[in-house]
A and B are shown apart, each in its own frame.
Chain A
Amino acid sequence: MSLTLSEVEHIAELARLELTDEEKERFRRQLSEILDYAARLQSIDTSQTLPSAARPATARSAVAPHSVLRPDVPAPSLKLKEVLDNAPQAEDDQFRVPPVLEQAP
């Protein structure tokens, strides 16, 4: 299969990834090749097969996957300063970002 440039642009839009024109063309070619290779999975009969869960069934627990919850015990969180130390921009103990909504004309 061969991806089109507009498909590549659509995927990049979904992934919130700015690509140069050169990257778009390169990824179009490379992703097409990789997806061609992956297409061999289509020929495998999986009509009787369930998809794997993230948690592998083990000899010890051949049970269906289940959610694991820890006890709900209050504990201190990270200090605000420690968290904001990594912020690209912070102000008044908050993360600062550019306007989320378009400004009125």
Chain B
Amino acid sequence: MSDLTELGVRQGLEALGRGDCSSRELTLAFLERSQRLEPKVHAFITPTPELALHMAEAADQRRQACKRDPSLALPPLLGLPVAIKDVLVLKGVRCTCGSHILENFVPPFTGTAVQRLLDAGVVVTGKTNMDEFAMGSSTENSGYGPTHNPWDLTRVPGGSSGGSAAAVAGRMIPAALGTDTGGSVRQPASFCGVTGLKPTYGRVSRYGLVAFGSSLDTIGVLAHSAEDVALIFTHLAGYDLRDATSLDVPVPEIALEKNDSLDGLRVGVPQEYFINGIQPEVEAGIHQAIDVLHSLGAEIRPVNLPHTGEALPAYYLIAPAEASANLARYDGVRYGLREPADSVRDVFFKSRGKGFGAEVKRRIMLGTYALSAGYYDAYYGQAQKVRTLIKDDFEQAFQMVDVIAAPVAPSTAFRLGEHSDDPLAMYLEDVFTLPANLAGVPGLAFPVGFDQHGLPVGMQLMGAHFSEELLIQVGHAFQKATDWHLRAPALL
């Protein structure tokens, strides 16, 4: 086999199954490519090559044992290398959340989502870069330096799961876990030309996910195709007693082979997502992709999501409010950075002042204000009511259509530094991804073209709660008819 790093999830598992390569060989190939590209891309905060090789060798032994004794169950993802966003804890491996306040934090337990993948047999090659505490849309807010977009190193990979998206796009890993609180899987997937799934809120357990916005946080998957995403997602999802918001809904086996035609599928196109200021090539790319869905048999209908414009202000009150409460735990007492001081009070102030970066401080301040006495009803309370209107929009739309097709972001990847010191301009990048988080519905982002600079254009499909299977089937049908998802950046 020429280059093992060209393999995606399904191909990699098939190669392992046939014995074309060992997990050790596959893992080494991705580790070596990562090592070579890291000085340019910086997708990882903490690479774990020794752990990965140890896990790969164990996977190879397990496979041999299963061959000798067919009564042993073969774990479904045995030997597959994956990377994990550095906001999900893995016992014994430093977890920074992109923050200096957790620079030396080594978690004493493994979260449910990661544990499920470990049980399925994966090999972990590292923890990926991210905006600090997942707050950002460019990965520039990482305390460990920004990630660069493999399609153009002067541009951002999106965020906050920018390290995961860049690692997949750069063929440094076949798949990676990300998290999506306001678009943090879908927008970097779009900027990096990969496929990313944000599941229904409550679908994947968040036990062991460091909390940002608890009513919004979801754990998702980034990979090269809808099919590859499905292979990981089915092992990630499911009920977990350890997450009180986890939902006890059966996870389907996702059937892809029978659904090449989209006959009878109703695709909604919301006019509110085609606004002034959207990059013309993004708009054109989405319309061409919708034409592809139509040519596969789907019926295209206009739909209205009238409160789309209110999602952004509502989100930027709700998420910071929840973040300000969640991040109160970083006080320098039990774990994390402690700045020496003469009193406990000063330990709190100085540790937090030194450990948090600018965007995190900004959101803590904003959220504290929105929750403070005299302002709660006007800000947080009103935002939660507007959120109900946004959810109602989606519920009404999904009575008319099965999926909604829309751009992921108003533009393709922007340049590093373009929005520095203009937080509002950065927040506006999230305008199309926030509504799904506020409504709790799933979304699948995938590439549908390129702009004149050779940067990927992404589309998202949104569906009703628990419609991940349908989104993946539609994405798969699109990817069987097109080859945008197969294009790779010319990085060497």
Q: How far is the CB of B92 from chain A (nearest CB, A)?
A: 10
Given the interface pairs A55-B202, A56-B201, A56-B440, the reply to whether A30 lies near B385 with Cβ below 8 Å is: no
Residue among B312, B345, B385, B440 with the most chain A CB within 10 A?
B385
- Chain B's closest residue to A13 (CB) is B349
A8-B365, A85-B106 in contact; A44/B336 too (CB < 8 A)?
Answer: no
Do B331 and A16 touch (CB < 8 A)? Answer: yes
Judge whether A50 and B388 touch: CB under 8 Å.
yes
A6 part of interface (Cβ distance < 8 Å)? no
Q: Give the CA-CA distance A10 to B346 in the complex, in Å.
A: 16
User: CA separation between A96 and B3, bound complex, in Å?
Assistant: 53
Contact mask for chain A residues 16-45; partner B; CB cutoff 8 A; 1 contact, 0 none? 111100010001001101110111111010
**Are B316 and A38 closer than 8 Å at their CB atoms?**
yes
Q: Are A86 and B364 in contact (CB under 8 A)?
A: no
Chain A contacts to B: CB under 8 angstroms: 8, 11-12, 14-19, 23, 27, 30-31, 33-35, 37-42, 44, 46, 49-52, 54-61, 67-68, 70-71, 78-79, 82-83, 85-89, 95, 97-100, 102
A11 to B316 CA separation, bound complex (whole angstroms): 17
Using a CB–CB cutoff of 8 Å, the interface residues on chain B facing chain A are 104-106, 108-109, 200-202, 214-215, 241-242, 244-245, 247, 249, 307, 310, 312-314, 316-317, 324, 328, 331-338, 341-350, 352-354, 356, 358, 361-362, 364-366, 368-369, 372, 378-379, 381-389, 391, 423-424, 427, 438-440, 464-466
How many residue pairs link A and B with beta carbons under 8 A? The number is: 175
Q: Which residue, B201, B249, B388, B391, has most C-beta atoms of chain A within 10 A? A: B388
In the complex the two chains form, what is the Cα distance from A78 to B208 in whole Å? Answer: 14
- Can you list 18 A-B pairs, Cβ within 8 angstroms, ordered by A? A11-B372, A14-B372, A16-B345, A17-B353, A30-B423, A31-B365, A34-B316, A46-B389, A52-B387, A55-B202, A55-B245, A58-B200, A59-B466, A60-B465, A67-B244, A86-B108, A98-B343, A102-B343
Report chain B residues within 8 Å CB of A78: 108-109
How far, in angstroms, from A68 to B109 measured CA to CA in the complex?
23
Do A41 and B382 contact each other (CB < 8 Å), given the known contacts A17-B352, A52-B387, A98-B347?
yes
Question: Is there an interface contact between A40 and B313, defined as CB atoms closer than 8 Å?
Answer: yes
Question: Which one, A38, A51, A54, A71, contacts B379 given CB within 8 A?
Answer: A38
Q: Describe A's contact surface by its main secondary structure.
A: loop
Contact in complex: B215, A54 (CB < 8 Å):
yes
Q: With A41-B313, A51-B388 in contact, is A16–B361 under 8 Å at CB?
A: no
A27-B365, A44-B310 given; A54·B466 CB < 8 A: no
CB distance from B351 to the nearest CB of A (A): 8
Chain A residues, CB < 8 A from B344:
97-100
B240: nearest chain-A partner, CB-CB: A70
User: What's the least CB distance linking A18 to chain B, in Å?
Assistant: 3
Q: Which residues of B contact A30 (CB under 8 A)?
A: 362, 423-424
